[in-house]
Structure 1
Amino acid sequence: MTGTATLCTVTAPLTLFAAELGMDEGRIGLLSGIMPFFQALGILSLPVVLRFGSRSVATTALTMRYVFLGLFLIVPFFAARPDAVFGVLMAAMLGFAVCRSLAEAAISPWSQEFMPRSVRGRITGRMALAYVPVALGVSWAIQAWLDGRTGLDRFVPVFAVGIVIGIAGALMLLGLRGGRAADSNAPRRRSLTEPLRDRNFVIYLFASALQSIVFVSISLFLILFFRDRLGMSSGALVLLVALIPVGAAAGNVTAGWFVDRYGTRAIRTALQAGQIGLLLALPLLEPDVPAAGALVPLAFFLFGFLFQAGIAVGTVYMLNVIPPASKEEYTALHYSMDGLAGGLATFAAGFLLAWIGAGEVSVLGVDLGKYEVLFLVAAGLTVISALAYSRLHEEGALSVRDFVGHFTTGNPMKALWGINRYASRTSEDRRRDLAFQFGGVGSLLAKEELIAALRDPSFDVRHEAIRALGHISAHPAVLNALETVLEYDGLVELRYAALGSLGRLKATSCAPRIAQFMEDPNPLLRARAARSLGEIGDLSSLPRIRTMLHDDPDLDCRLAATSALGKLKDRASMPGLVDLYLEQASDRTNRVAEPRSKVVLLAITKIFRCEEEFSHQWRREEVQSGLAMPQILLQLAGRVRTGAPGASAKLRELTSDYNAEDTAATLAALAELLPALHQSRHRDSDLAVDVLNEVRTAAEPHPALLVAMAAILNRIFAA
């Protein structure tokens, strides 16, 4: 109801009413600047609020401010006397401004009592959202009324309806709890010394005052800019102004959600960056610009989205940081400083536009009109405000860089959609599936949901959340959550998954904690710890991993050590790796021995830095025996032709009638390259000689060994 009253009185209708009365920009700026300017009374009203309580002062002042607006109804009788009209409007706005200041100074600290801190951002957003249908409906009705009639008298019913609804809305404040008068017997400091000594709050006041300067001045003259630049009617502008609260609702809902999760600092700075872009783009709107009719509504929407949401975010910050025992002093100072800055800015902006008039001002050799100058100055002030706000201390808040980083990892839009669905009532299976999808999305935006899922009553949901955390980013909060899971004694599967996720994230800082699991009695955890240390690249764990390769009683742990040593490119462990390979390759009784042997081959090729070639060619050879090997051998024959012509000829002869079953012949042909290997100056040639000498005696070499050795030799001779 208060929003309806404002739309009908002191916003667009008043500006357009004054313009049709023939007032210039200077006087219009003076009338509109009274409201923010008189916010300075917030400091003087502090004793009144403490004496009578926020509830009583706010209700009384809010009611009386609409009583003063009753003077609007007699203005048409003085239409022929411009000075008298200005005097009546000035008297009405003076009374309105004084009462408004008292009401706002009382409501601001009162809101800390009935708005829980953890959801203040969302409450602000939902309040703005609830206002949208009101803004649209009322603005449409005002537009239809004003455009359907002529003369100044058509404004009178609009003002009258607004005054009546405003009084009714003010009386509804009596339904809110809290806001009692201060205990007269309790000692209380009623000075502004405490907030003025708070350096962080003083920086906030400075940033907020600059934002108020820009918002108040632009919100007033944006309407006149489009009226003068594009020749739009009063009714159309009133309707377009309704898009400002629509944008504000969208901005407040969005910003409020982010504020409750990440704090206000990064969100406010991001909004102000958007404000700067909008201010610099507005002067480009000309009547001949294509789609100008669509860009004007967009400009009003973005103004509400960026500016009003930015102010709301700042208000949430203030409520979060001010001490409850001194909330009246802090909020009174903030309200007054914003008002003083905004009021002076409106006067200055109005007189600036009147001074420039229809002429131009030259800035760095560029001729600019009055609105271009206004927008340029506003953009500069917004830059300063954003820089100041980014320096504020806010416990638990993300930095601007971290916040932006949340949108540069994975797919943020899918993450936001999934977060919204995860917050609703869902079954265990659905929560597990959503956690899995968060891992696929890979966005940091979902980390709060995944971390919260670690406390889910469902084991499956927790397990999937741990795995998903390993697919987003090595954010400190993610690493801390996964390290906490490592303490879950008895839940081996969850600890195993956490070790895997930390390895996938390459969590270097967690390596010492992971290394402790190499002494765990559970072989699964020992094996997973070794693999994770290999993924992280923790060289300090090399001695313990080498010991595991040779001495661990569990074969799975030895194979895990093999994988880790391959990832760490540990040349010193090559003899042990070759021995393990030969042990597994020669075991004909175990069905899984051969697949295990390829794990060792993969590690060996990683040390020789040809793992990709080996994997690629082996996949081809595995699909069809004899498909890849002839091509590899021919390539190798071409590379050793000058250094070992006999061996090269033998390889060519072998490929001309290649027999995939006769693996011993192929290995023997590769062994004939040993003299050429001895002559090679490649850093890995001696290591390759040792490996080839060890495996050449294999009775029935597996095709995978042939592919691996050919890949190693090709890399050495290609250098």
Structure 2
Amino acid sequence: MATTTAPITTTQKIRALPWSLAAGALNSVFVQFTFFGSAFILFLNELDISTSQIGFLLSMFPFLGLVALFIAPMVARFGYKRTYITFFGIRKFVTILLLTLPWVSVQFGPQVTLIVASVVVIGFGLCRAISEVGYYPWAQEFIPHSIRGKYTANSHVMSSIASIIAVAVASFVLSLPGGLERFQFLIVIGILFGFASVWSHTHVPGGDPISETDDEKPATYRDMLRTLRDKNLIFYLVGIALITFGTGPLYSFLPLFMKEQVGLTESQVVLLPTAALVGGLLMSNLLGWSADRYGSKPIMLLGVILMIALPFGWLFMPKGSDISLPVALSIAFFQGISGTAWMLGSRRLLFGSVVPVNERSRYMAVYYSAIGIVGGLSQLIGGNLIDWFSGLSGQVFFVELNPFSPLMLASVVLPTLSLLIFQRVRGDSNVSVTEYAGMFIQGNPINALESLVRFYRARDERATVVQTEKMGLSHSPLTVDELVDALTDPRFNVRYEAVISIARTPSHPRLTSALIEILLGTELSLSNVAAWALGRIGDPEAVAALREGLNSDYRSVRAHCARALGTLKDQAVRGLLLEHLKNEEDKGLQMAYAAALGNLGAEEAIETVFALLLDFENDRARMELALSLARMIGQENQFINLMRQLRADPGTAAAQSLLDFRQHVGKEGDPEFLKLITRASDAFAAEDLDAGVANLVLMIQEPLAKLGLRLVAQKMLNQCAQALAEHGAERSELLLLTLHVLQAGAIT
């Protein structure tokens, strides 16, 4: 009877991830010192193997991936983990045979050396292909998808650090005097690290054999053919192919380009991967976090865009110069960033969106075989292209031609085409690469990221409130998730500060939705602030909820909703607000309705609001009502500036305002009317406010046609004349409003 192994829990997976991370770091040293580092290309070059022959050898690695189509069912039955560990270990023994190549070269010459090297590469590549057929489905199982981006980033960081150290050691060793024994020393060290990596992988759970009774059945060959009907997979593979053909050959032979065309030494060439590793190391955590948060596709496409830019740097970099190395290192730095973005995004997209979990065996077999064919052909073509164009020289416009120029051209054109193909691949989020990139040019992204880190590390309520405030002050969309999370914090002050901070943040659908939920909720102390915040943010999507809030059982909520609707210029509620204002007895609500009507420019409310202005006793309330009336005329900023001037020096400010109005009337105005303006201005200038107001009242009681004002301004001046005649200079808001109407109410 077949037994079913219980699935490993997420907790078990997370506990075992450090072993996987360690294994990856150890394996990085192995690959840098053996088959996949710059040292290996230089090693083959020292053995008098040509670039086309090197291309042939390198093509064996991906070509051997075709075995996946034939062994996938057997691997599933044998067990993904068991397969990987077994052949991952065997390939280390095969690597030992690299140590014999210098002896073979001396004894039998370059042709036999090429044959032996081919046998070693094929043996290693075959073991590698078989082991990776087991690894990909196993990795999809033991890495939780919710933290796949974070895991991949951490893995990249550890592997990069290990690789940087390995490259530094390789550079030092190759700078020493000597011959091929320098490469042999590196290979021995690499093999030792490789065995340590195998041991670490044995501690990772999962990857058990699959039987016919399991939910996931071992793939048959017919299943694998049926996989090719999946258009999403096909588009993904075509995009991968374009990237591989475009960048694979160039990146493989880049060490030779740097040595032969740029003029760098071997030790300098080996240093270039260090800069690439540093670039990837610095950005991997941010990119991994971004992939988990905003989806794989924008990160992947960002990597492709950066890849397209790299060849321009290599084409125009100085050659044979003292600054050649610094420039090459700088370009390599950005190459590391682009490669990391591409690797994190494409791999996460593969496991999360392209490959169904219950069909991983057949999908991964097809994927691995496809990239094997593409990768092998790209290496063959790349090596032969360099040989075919070995005599290429000259200059086209300002571009210097060399044997590597065709590869440079391909590395621009093909990735550009891949961008179009990847648009057809189903993503795992709705965030586009443009939206993702835009997050880093809005607000202050550095402060936003810093506050995010500190937000999660805050030890108490006060520290959390401070970081919540800083997230809002960053004005960055990067903080959206944390601000929404802060709204559900059990600590009231954190929730309150989150609402305030959201009001400082650019409009975002999730933030608006979260505030609406609070507005319509039962937490009154936050509903008020949420209504205010919705008005400040200015998102039209909040209008419906704010209208609903006008019917709230709580007066404070109704007041804030009314003010917010005024801020949002919701003209549809003008009639309703005016009706509420006429029937409302609560002064706070009266103020709110009047403020909203002022923002809406509701001229029909002038008499009602003016009556409130005369009735209120609070100075600040009267000034706000005066502002509401001024907004119905327009030019709010002029009203505020005049208010400040009147507070500082009322006589001079009023006199200057009337002189400005006199210029508007012009010299051709009625002489008697001009005399009234002059008398009022002179009285104000002499600090005789009562006389100034008296003359002002006489002036605005003249036939209003002389004033050259709009109808709404004339209507308001009628109210001002009666109020000023009754209250005189003691009501500063009336004088302010009158002067503002004269300035802003002119016919234009």
Shared fold per TM-score greater than 0.5:
yes
User: Which residue of structure 2 aligns with residue 220 of structure 1?
Assistant: 252
Q: Do structure 1's residue 678 and structure 2's residue 705 form an aligned pair?
A: yes
2:91 to 45, 65, 76: 65
Change (3 A) 1:408 1:231: closer
* Structure 1 residue 12 corresponds to structure 2 residue 38: yes
Aligned to 1:3: 28
- Are 1:251 and 1:306, in contact at CA under 8 Å, matched by a contact in 2? no
User: 1:146-200: CA deviations, max 9, x gaps?
Assistant: 2112222322222222223323322432221110110144555532245323322
For structure 1, which segment, 679-688 or 602-611, has the greater mean C-alpha deviation from structure 2 after superposition?
679-688
How is 1:516-555 mapped onto 2 (pairs within 5 angstroms)?
A: 516-555=548-587
Mapped partners of 1:654, 1:308: distance in 2 = 75
Mean Cα deviation higher: 219-228 or 382-391: 382-391
Alignment match, 2:410? 377
Aligned to 1:705: 734
Taking structure 2 as the reference length, the TM-score comes to 0.90
Contact preservation (8 Å) 1:638, 1:648 = no
Q: Distance in 2 between matches of 1:289 and 1:512?
A: 66
Partner Cα separation in structure 1 for residue 296 and residue 454 of structure 2:
24
C-alpha distance 457-243 of structure 1, shift in aligned 2 (>3 A): same
1:336-355 paired onto structure 2 within 5 Å: 336-355=369-388
Equivalent in the alignment of 2:203: 175
Contact 2:651/2:689 (<8 A) preserved: no
Residue of structure 2 in register with 1:26 after alignment: 52
How far apart, CA to CA, are the structure 2 residues paired with 1:631 and 1:718? 20
Q: 1:139-158 maps to which residues of 2 (within 5 A)? A: 139-158=167-186
1:666-691 CA distance string (max 9 Å, x none) = 25425524556325374645434544
Q: Quote the residue 1:432 is aligned against.
A: 465
Deviation at 1:480, TM superposition (A): 1.4
Question: Alignment RMSD, CA only?
Answer: 2.3
Secondary structure of the 1:398 match is: coil
Structure 2 letter corresponding to 1:710: L
State the alpha-carbon separation in 2 of the partners of residues 32 and 717 from structure 1: 82
1:411 aligns with 2:411: no
Matched, 1:165 2:190: no
2-side partners of 1:683 and 1:374: how far apart? 74
Kindly indicate whether the alpha-carbon contact (under 8 Å) linking 1:215 and 1:307 is maintained by their aligned counterparts in 2.
Answer: no
- The answer (yes or no) to whether the contact 1:678–1:689 under 8 Å persists in 2 is no
Q: Is 282-291 or 444-453 further displaced after alignment?
A: 282-291
Q: In 2, distance between residues paired with 1:601 and 1:37? A: 81
Q: What one-letter code is carried by the residue in structure 1 that aligns with 2:573?
A: S
Whole-Å Cα distance in 2 between the matches of residues 188 and 609 of structure 1? 75
Calculate percent identity across the aligned residue pairs: 23
Contact 2:581 2:590 in 1 (8 A): yes
Q: How does 1:106-117 map to 2 (within 5 A)?
A: 106-117=134-145
Paired with 1:636 and 1:681, the residues of 2 have a C-alpha distance of 11
* C-alpha contact (below 8 Å) 2:77/2:218 kept by paired residues: no
Q: Which residue of 2 aligns with 1:450?
A: 483
- Name the residue aligned to 2:541: 509
- The answer to whether structure 1 residue 48 and structure 2 residue 77 are counterparts is no
The Cα shift of 1:446 comes to 0.5
Q: Is the 8 A contact 2:566 2:595 kept in 1?
A: yes
Deviation sequence 1:565-610 (CA, Å, 0-9, x none): 11111112112122211222xx4xxxxx222111111111111112
Structure 1 residue aligned with 2:638? 613
Paired residue for 1:38? 64
Q: CA deviation at 1:696?
A: 4.4
Determine the C-alpha separation between the residues in 2 that align with 1:676 and 1:292.
83
The verdict on how the C-alpha distance between 1:278 and 1:694 changes in structure 2, with shifts beyond 3 A counting, is: farther
Q: 2: CA distance between counterparts of 1:667 and 1:269?
A: 73
Say which of 619, 644, 648 aligns to 1:594.
619
The 5 Å alignment of 1:265-304 reads 265-287=297-319, 291-304=323-336
With over 3 angstroms needed to count, the CA separation of the structure-2 counterparts of 1:243 and 1:684, relative to structure 1, is same
- The letter of the residue matching 1:117 is H
- Whether the 8 Å contact between 1:663 and 1:703 is mirrored in structure 2 is no
Cα distance between partner residues in 2 of 1:94 and 1:361:
39
Q: Distance in 1 between matches of 2:513 and 2:41?
A: 56
1:584-643, Cα deviation, whole Å (9 max, x unpaired): 2xx4xxxxx222111111111111112111101111211233241111111112222322
Q: Which amino acid aligns with 2:54?
A: I
For residues 427 and 666 of structure 1, what CA distance do their matches in structure 2 show? 59
- Residue 269 to residue 412, structure 1, CA distance change in 2 (3 Å): same
Q: Deviations over 1:517-550 (max 9, x none)?
A: 2122211111000001011111111122111221
Cα distance, 1:365–1:280 mapped onto 2, change above 3 Å? closer
Counterpart contact for 2:315–2:399, Cα < 8 Å: no
Bigger CA drift: 26-35 or 680-689? 680-689
Q: Is the 8 A contact 1:647 1:669 kept in 2?
A: no
Unaligned stretches of 5+ residues in structure 1? 588-592
Q: How far did 1:660 drift?
A: 4.2
Using the TM superposition, name which of 87-96 and 382-391 deviates more: 382-391
Query: Would you say the 8 A contact 2:161–2:281 is kept in 1?
Result: no
In structure 2, C-alpha distance between the alignment counterparts of 1:688 and 1:553, rounded to whole Å = 24
Query: CA separation in 2, counterparts of 1:687 and 1:195?
Result: 77
Distance (Å, rounded) in 2 between the aligned partners of 1:253 and 1:605 = 53
Question: Aligned partners of 1:340 and 1:363: how far apart in 2?
Answer: 34
Q: Which amino acid aligns with 1:554?
A: D
Secondary structure at the aligned position of 1:3 is classed as: helix
Q: How does 1:645-664 map to 2 (within 5 A)?
A: 645-658=671-684, 659-660=686-687, 662-663=689-690
What TM-score does the superposition give when structure 1 sets the normalisation length? 0.94
The answer to whether the Cα contact below 8 Å between 1:432 and 1:464 also exists between their aligned partners in 2 is: yes
Which amino acid is the alignment partner of residue 643 of structure 1?
G
The question of 1:634 aligning with 2:659 is answered yes
Residue in structure 1 matched with residue 12 of structure 2 by the alignment: none
Q: CA deviation at 1:365?
A: 10
2:173 partner letter:
W
The CA distance in 2 between the partners of 1:509 and 1:618, in whole Å, is 35
- Residue by residue over 1:9-57, the C-alpha shift from the partner in whole angstroms, topping out at 9 and shown as x without a partner, is 1121210012222332211211122212222322222122112011111
Counterparts in 2 of 1:180 and 1:353: CA distance versus 1, 3 Å? same
Shift in CA distance, 555/310, structure 1 to aligned 2, threshold 3 Å? same
**Residue identity opposite 1:41 in structure 2:** V
